[in-house]
Structure 1
Amino acid sequence: MYQEHTHFEVAINPNPDLNEPAVLFSGEGRPEPSHGIGPSVHEYYLVHTVLDGKGIFECNGVSYPCKKGDTFFIFPGILFRYQADASDPWHYTWVAIQGVTVSSYLRKIGVTKERPVLHTTDVPTAHELFRRIRLSFRQSAYSEMENLEASGWMRLLLHHFGLANADSIRSPERDLPTMIDRQVEHAIRWISLQYPQQISIQHIASTLGYHRAHLSKAFRAKTGYSPKQYLMNVRLKKAQELLVGNLTIDQVSSSVGFNDALYFSKQFRKEFGMSPTDYRNVATRTQEKKNGQ
């Protein structure tokens, strides 16, 4: 196959982690006129971006003429064929990816078995990202680090394709969330991740570009709670989890964002009708009965 290219290079991942989307190999080539591959099937995803020239990609009985900026995706187990043009053969670069979540990544950028081709106008950026993937595999003593680096560049490549394909990803029958809806979702994630910190609702609102009252109104409309109430609920529910363990009450209080253990106990009793200590005793007895002790 190499002899059928005027230029051919490939880099292999020596240590792919298949528990995550992983790069298996990546390459770049300039096939001879009319050079073709297939009909064949692969056991991995294979992504080609056309850097110049043109050719034909076929899968599922559909033929896709491809030119500079087009990227075609070969899915595992799907019969495919592709061939360089006879007069203007393509120059392309590729990456093979494997992993149980790859299909969900591709759906997010608008690629499916029924829609396996997308287009980017920023070919130089895509080309550089493919090159960075190949350069990750330096045959060093740290193959695990090379795998991590290649996976990072691969995700940036998919991100690039997703941005280039953003308009077509939007489905007309699905309303896009409004800006305030997105900001409320952002605030929810912020609270859910940062609850151990001394969170200021005012700071969240100003960071997201909204007046506190406006964000609070939208937040309540979506969740049924004010941001402050939501934060309290998150902290107390997490405290429930931690109380079934070996931490002291003071340690639990501090771990969920309370500076004052007495104030924590007061809020916990108000919410659950018992003190943290009583809750721990009840939860422990329940767990012992469940375990047959």
Structure 2
Amino acid sequence: MSPQIDHFKFHVGSNTQPGHGELSVLFSGEGKPHPNHQIGPAVHNYYLIHTVMSGHGIFETDGTRYECSKGDTFVIFPDTLFTYKAHDSDPWHYRWVAFRGHMAGPILASIGISPAHPIIACSDYRALIPLYRKMQQTLEHTPFPELADLEASGLLRILLKEFGELNADKLTFNSLTIIPDMERQIKQAVRYLSYQFAKPIAIDDLSRSLGYHRTHLSKMFKQYTGLSPMQFLLKVRMERARELLTGQVHLSIDQVASSVGYSDALYFSKQFRKTFGSSPTEYRSNHRTEHS
């Protein structure tokens, strides 16, 4: 029997070009099945999430039975036996998304969803519906399947973020770590310096952007990393310079200097010698000799 026949309502958008990376949507849709409509017992080879918008039903997985109603979300895991069945007089109406990817399991675990905890209860699911709807529409109507895959996987990540927020205050295990504000700010500063090292960086500007006085930021930064912001920035720049000198032999010393945030190649060379005990040219030459 086709899904359209045993449903009052059934719509689905399928991904014709699913990716093979971290996370990729396979299909997404909406259904309101007839009373007592049942799927399973069965096993899937992908992840499948349903969010109930109205009505009632039963979800059973791994030997545990859950009664689900409006606002509940249930998650089916790959290679895990499941059954779900619509209520006999008030069948549920739900939206769903199926996906795969090598990061799917870890991401779900990080937001408190696992085979042992496959249910998320939500009194207000309105923020979820536009995400489901957009995923379905993207997969149904796009003339560019590869772009649809990118968009749908992005929407799925946002949906999972919403589930994480819904689940956060109900977690009884340490799947989500609440990071103190200062530590979060320091990690933000570390990421900024680690990725923006090639640009002119003023620690005063960085401090203001994080809302701290330079002295206080420097003190806390050193407490967390063991280095001052400037020492950390120098370390990042020098390590990257060493990589470029040994891996990008076609680059001149001026080009290496510019690539790691120094407009003055002479000053860069002095900093490099101070760090590694030899000039950039000597370091590159010695590396070639060692590996020839």
CA contact (8 A) 1:138 1:146 kept: no
Is 1:264 aligned to residue 268 of structure 2? yes
Distance in 2 separating the partners of 1:182 and 1:159: 18
Alignment length, in residue pairs? 288
What is aligned with 1:248? 252
When residues 193 and 114 of structure 1 are mapped into structure 2, their CA distance, relative to the original with a 3 A threshold, is same
Distance in 2 separating the partners of 1:225 and 1:121: 46
Distance in 1 separating the partners of 2:269 and 2:174: 50
RMSD over aligned Cα, in angstroms? Answer: 1.6
Residue 172 of structure 1: CA displacement?
6.1
Structure 1 residue identity aligned to 2:66: Y
Distance in 1 separating the partners of 2:259 and 2:132: 43
CA contact (8 A) 1:239 1:253 kept: yes
What is aligned with 1:102? 104
For residues 105-254 of structure 1, the aligned pairs below 5 Å read 105-169=107-171, 171=173, 176-244=178-246, 245-254=249-258
Normalising by structure 1, what TM-score?
0.94
Distance in 1 separating the partners of 2:102 and 2:33: 31
Residue 170 of structure 1: CA displacement?
6.9
Distance in 1 separating the partners of 2:37 and 2:212: 57
Distance in 2 separating the partners of 1:135 and 1:175: 35
Deviation string, structure 1 residues 19-70 (Cα, Å, up to 9, x no partner): 2311111111111112111110001101100011111111011111111111
Distance in 1 separating the partners of 2:172 and 2:204: 33
When residues 174 and 157 of structure 1 are mapped into structure 2, their CA distance, relative to the original with a 3 A threshold, is closer
Distance in 2 separating the partners of 1:72 and 1:239: 50
Deviation string, structure 1 residues 174-203 (Cα, Å, up to 9, x no partner): 873311111111111110000001111111
| Residue of 49, 52, 57 corresponding to 1:50 | 52
| Residue of 269, 281, 292 corresponding to 1:277 | 281
Deviation string, structure 1 residues 78-123 (Cα, Å, up to 9, x no partner): 0001111122211001111011111111112211111111123332
Distance in 1 separating the partners of 2:206 and 2:167: 31
Structure 2 residue identity aligned to 1:85: H
Structure 1 residue identity aligned to 2:16: P
Distance in 2 separating the partners of 1:141 and 1:135: 12
Say which SS state the counterpart of residue 10 (structure 1) adopts: strand
| Residue of 75, 96, 99 corresponding to 1:73 | 75
Deviation string, structure 1 residues 211-250 (Cα, Å, up to 9, x no partner): 1111111111111110011000100110000011221100
Normalising by structure 2, what TM-score?
0.94
CA contact (8 A) 2:109 2:175 kept: no
Distance in 2 separating the partners of 1:284 and 1:112: 51
CA contact (8 A) 1:13 1:24 kept: yes
Distance in 1 separating the partners of 2:146 and 2:138: 11
**After TM superposition, which residue ranges in structure 1, 4 or more long, deviate above 3 angstroms?**
138-141, 169-176
Unaligned segments of structure 1, at least 5 residues: 289-293
Distance in 2 separating the partners of 1:95 and 1:176: 28
Distance in 2 separating the partners of 1:174 and 1:138: 35
What is aligned with 2:20? 18
Say which SS state the counterpart of residue 160 (structure 2) adopts: helix
CA contact (8 A) 2:111 2:176 kept: no
Q: Aligned residues: percent identity?
A: 47
Range with bigger deviation, 233-242 or 159-168: 159-168
Structure 1 residue identity aligned to 2:285: N
Say which SS state the counterpart of residue 20 (structure 1) adopts: coil
Structure 1 residue identity aligned to 2:225: T
Is 1:287 aligned to residue 291 of structure 2? yes
